[in-house]
Copies of this chain bind each other. A is one copy, B any other.
Amino acid sequence: MVSVLIVYYTKSGNTKEMANMIAAYIRNENVDVEVRDVFDTTPEYLLEYDGIILGSPTYYGDMAAEMKELIDKSVKYHGELSGKLGGAFTSSAYIGGGNETTLLSILKAMLIHGMVVVGVHNADHYGPVAIGSPDERAEKQCRVYAKKFADTLKSLKGFDIVD
């Protein structure tokens, strides 16, 4: 069974809500998922899973400092995350308010770790975005992303995908 770690930083609760949505949909795909607050996460945790998804509110077009701190500390294990599958999600106050660049700030850090990342052709392309409190639109994004992430992870790890 493949495993996924979802780490979130939240202030309003929106990003945490998205973390739980994505977790539930990935579990539906028969994947082991753990959800952690960034304050309860050390870089060591990142080593233990096949896939890692990081979620942050959109703060000035970039992940929150609290999430960046985890990534900066993960340099201790630089090279050891190589080949894992990575993903990102964000909650944002506005359309055009920096949500895409926030997702890319996370994905770029993952590429630098030598990780694999995946986009979605028929939903939010770089990862799920909620505008304000997660609504039906955001839930759909989480659902489509979770399925794509799980399928890609199974392919990477040599598991069959049963549709």
Contact = CB atoms under 8 A, between A and B. Distances in A.
Interface of A: 59-66, 68-69, 71-72, 75, 78-79, 81-83, 94-101, 104-105, 107-126, 128-129, 131, 137, 141, 148, 151-152, 155-158
Contact of A61 (B83, B109, B122): B109
> Which of A95, A110, A120, A123 counts the most chain B CB atoms within 10 A?
A95
A155 to B, nearest CB: 5
Contacts of A158: 155, 158
A101 B111 CA distance: 12
B108 A124 contact: no
B129 A96 contact: yes
Please indicate which of the listed interface residues A61, A69, A121, A124 has the most CB atoms of chain B within 10 Å of its own CB: A61
A111 B126 contact: yes
A103 to B, nearest CB: 8
Interface centre among A64, A115, A126 (most CB of B within 10 A): A126
Contact of A119 (B112, B124, B141, B148): B112
Nearest to A110: B119
Given A83-B155, A124-B97, A105 B65 contact: no
